[in-house]
Amino acid sequence: MKCQVCGAESGKYPLCRVCNIKKEQGDIFKCHSCGRWHYVNQLCTASISHSDDQSDLYEKKQSLISKSEQAFFAAIKESLPPDYYVFPQINLASFIEKNDNSRYHNELFRNVDFLITSSTYNPLVVIEINDMTHMDAERKERDIKVGKIFDEAGVKRITFWTSYGVNNTYIKEKIAEAISSPVNRIHHFSKNQPVGDTNTIPDGIRKKRGCYIATCVYKSYDCAEVWTLRRFRDNTLSQIWYGRFFIRIYYAVSPILVKWFGKAKWFEIFWKRILNKLVKELQSRGLSSEPYIDPN
Amino acid at residue number 281: E
Rounded Cα distance between 294 and 296, Å, is: 6
Mean pLDDT of all residues belonging to the chain: 82
224-249: average pLDDT: 90
- pLDDT of 55: 65
Residue 296: pLDDT above 80? no
Looking at mean pLDDT, say which of 70-79, 224-233, 279-288 comes out highest: 70-79
Helices of type H across 38-81: 67-79
Residue 201: pLDDT above 50? no
Rounded Cα distance between 206 and 58, Å, is: 44
Higher pLDDT, 162 or 198: 162
The residue extents of the domains of the chain are: 1-45, 67-200, 209-284
- pLDDT of 54: 58
Residue 95: pLDDT band (50, 70, 90) is: very high
Strand partners, 126: 115, 157
Tell me how far the alpha carbon of residue 291 is from its chain's centroid: 17
In this structure, are strands 156-161 and 37-39 parallel, antiparallel, or unpaired?
Answer: unpaired
Strand partners, 117: 85, 123
CA angle 235–208–138, rounded 5-degree value: 130
Residue 47: pLDDT above 70? no
Task: Specify the pTM.
Answer: 0.52
In this structure, are strands 111-118 and 28-30 parallel, antiparallel, or unpaired?
Answer: unpaired
CATH number of 67-200: 3.40.1350
Strand partners, 157: 126
Higher pLDDT, 223 or 208: 223
How many other C-beta atoms can be found within 10 angstroms of the C-beta atom of residue 250? Answer: 17
Residue 200: pLDDT above 80? no
Higher pLDDT, 77 or 221: 77
- pLDDT of 12: 73
284-293: average pLDDT: 86
Q: How far apart are the first and last CA of the chain?
A: 46
How many other C-beta atoms can be found within 10 angstroms of the C-beta atom of residue 52? Answer: 7
115-128: average pLDDT: 95
Residue 84: pLDDT above 90? yes
Residue 186: pLDDT band (50, 70, 90) is: confident
44-62: average pLDDT: 64
